[in-house]
Structures are given as structure tokens and as C-alpha cells.
């Protein structure tokens, strides 16, 4: 872990941070136009029963296709609903994107690349930090639990706070390894419950952290997990 500390923590990182993927399916709507079949007469005779049967089959088939189209539109609406209440951030220069709850406002904090927070509940926030690294994969720093514990103690919480790692795991997105972990940091007058996800790409060590006051964790945890799970890194 010496390499982790040397390359990550002995730098200008601030020591205090106050502060299934939502996937959208592109849908294609189809407009089914059924031309009205008019009766015709040949030499003064009505159309045959076979013609009438063919028209009924055409109309029945059109109704079925229209039902399928409506079902597909409902499915797309449901996909859109899963993103309701969130706004997206896409930084093409540094190669990352994520979503955050609607109503949070962007603030500037030294040492952080991007920060959004709730103005009423200041412990509810999300921050992104990135620093240069010569490593090419987050796994080069060690297993999830070991890396998470070091990062929490050295960077993500002040040294005078009592911290506890709840869980840490690894997952893969498009061939890129991410570590995600949950922890609490206890101060004299509050406890912050937080989630972080970290990864290495583009010569950078990326850290996204979000959290809330422990008293609001049950209310906020699903939103915060949506934030963490939305974090994606792309090549630049």
C-alpha cells in the first residue's frame, strides 16, 4: 500500500470532503397506416367473401401491431421514469459522467473537480476528484477492502473522525474495473453515511463520493446509490 499512499495521498488532495446503472433504451416508434379497404364491384357484383376476409385479417393485424407499438412506448416511458428527479453531468474533457438529484446546486471546493450539494442539507452532496497516476487499473493498488480503508482514513474523512468501512466490492463496466464501497464517518455532532466509487483510466485516479447525514440515510440511500451506480468513465 506504500505505492497507493505515495501516488495518491502525498499530494494536494483536500483532507475534508463535506460532502443497475440507469440505462436508457432507445426506442423506435412505428406508425402503422391501414388503408381503408373499399368495397368494389366488378360488372355490378359485390366483392367476394375472400376479399372481405382479407380485409378483416388486415385490420386485425394492424390493430395487433398498433398494440405492440403502444406497449413499446409504455416500456420507454418506464425507462424514462427511472431517471426522473435526476440531472446528468458529462465531462468530455476528463472522460466521466454521472447523475445527481434535482435541486442540488454546484459549488466550488478547492481540490475537487466537480461538487453538487443540497443547500439545506449540506451533508447531502456528491464530489468528483481526479489525480494523475501511472497505474492502469484500480486493481493495481490492491483489493477493494484494503484500498477503501486507506482512502477513507487518508482522504475521505478528517483524521479526527471515527470511520467504519461497511462493505467494499468490485464490478466491471465495459471492461473497466470499479471499486465501490460504503462507510460512515463519525464527528462529534453528526455522522455521515457515504458511498464512493473509484477507478483508474486516462492516466487518472477517479473518485466519486456521495453521502448524507446518518439521520437521513434511509430516506436518501436509494438516490445516493443511483448516483454512485451512474458514474461511468470513458476514454479521452
Pairing of strands 176-186, 162-173: antiparallel
As a whole number of angstroms, the distance between CA 86 and CA 104 comes to 9
Determine the pLDDT at residue 104. 97
Assigned C-alpha cell, 8: 495518491
State pLDDT tens for residues 211-235: 999 999 999 999 999 999 999 999 9
CB neighbour list of residue 47: distance below 8 Å, 6 or more residues apart: 39, 40, 41
Superfamily of domain 2-22+85-233: Mog1/PsbP, alpha/beta/alpha sandwich (3.40.1000.10)
Instruction: Report the length, in residues, of the chain.
Output: 236
Determine the pLDDT at residue 54. 52
Q: Is 158 helix (H, G, I), strand (E, B) or coil?
A: coil
Q: Which segments within the chain are labelled E, that is strand?
A: 86-91, 96-101, 105-106, 114-117, 125-132, 162-173, 176-186, 191-201, 204-213, 232-233
Determine the pLDDT at residue 24. 33
As a whole number of angstroms, the distance between CA 150 and CA 40 comes to 83
Question: Mean pLDDT, 10 residues at a time, over the chain (236 residues)?
Answer: 48 37 33 37 43 49 43 36 81 97 96 96 97 97 97 94 98 95 97 98 98 98 97 95
As a whole number of angstroms, the distance between CA 74 and CA 89 comes to 26
Of all residues in the chain, what percent carry a pLDDT higher than 70?
65
Closest CA to 212 of 188, 195, 228: 195
Per the confidence metrics, is the pTM higher than 0.75?
Answer: no
CB neighbour list of residue 195: distance below 8 Å, 6 or more residues apart: 180, 181, 182, 209, 210, 211, 224, 225, 227, 228
Pairing of strands 191-201, 176-186: antiparallel
State pLDDT tens for residues 98-135: 999 999 999 999 999 999 999 999 999 999 999 999 99
- For the four alpha carbons of 77, 82, 83 and 85, in that order, the dihedral sign comes to positive
Q: Is 37 helix (H, G, I), strand (E, B) or coil?
A: coil
Amino acid at each position: 500500500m506504500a505505492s497507493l499512499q505515495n501516488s495518491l495521498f502525498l499530494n494536494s488532495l483536500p483532507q475534508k470532503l463535506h460532502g443497475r446503472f440507469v440505462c436508457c433504451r432507445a426506442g423506435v416508434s412505428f406508425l402503422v397506416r391501414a388503408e381503408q379497404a373499399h368495397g368494389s364491384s366488378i360488372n355490378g357484383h359485390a366483392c367476394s367473401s375472400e376479399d372481405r376476409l382479407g380485409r378483416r385479417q388486415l385490420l386485425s393485424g394492424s390493430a395487433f401491431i398498433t398494440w405492440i407499438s403502444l406497449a413499446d412506448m409504455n416500456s420507454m416511458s418506464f425507462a424514462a421514469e427511472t431517471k426522473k428527479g435526476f440531472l446528468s453531468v458529462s465531462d468530455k474533457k476528463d472522460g466521466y459522467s454521472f447523475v445527481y438529484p434535482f435541486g442540488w446546486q454546484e459549488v466550488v471546493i478547492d481540490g475537487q473537480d466537480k461538487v453538487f450539494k443540497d443547500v439545506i442539507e449540506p451533508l447531502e452532496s456528491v464530489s468528483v476528484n481526479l489525480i494523475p497516476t501511472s497505474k492502469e487499473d484500480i486493481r493495481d493498488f490492491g483489493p477493494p477492502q484494503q484500498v477503501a480503508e486507506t482512502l477513507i482514513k487518508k482522504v475521505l474523512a478528517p483524521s479526527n473522525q471515527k470511520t467504519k468501512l461497511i462493505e467494499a466490492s468490485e464490478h466491471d463496466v465495459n471492461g473497466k474495473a470499479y471499486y465501490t464501497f460504503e462507510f460512515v464517518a463519525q464527528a462529534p455532532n453528526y455522522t455521515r453515511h457515504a458511498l464512493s466509487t473509484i477507478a483508474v483510466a486516462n492516466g487518472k485516479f477517479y473518485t466519486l463520493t456521495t453521502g448524507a447525514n446518518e439521520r437521513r440515510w434511509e430516506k436518501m440511500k436509494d438516490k445516493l446509490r443511483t448516483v454512485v451506480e451512474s458514474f461511468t468513465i470513458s476514454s479521452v
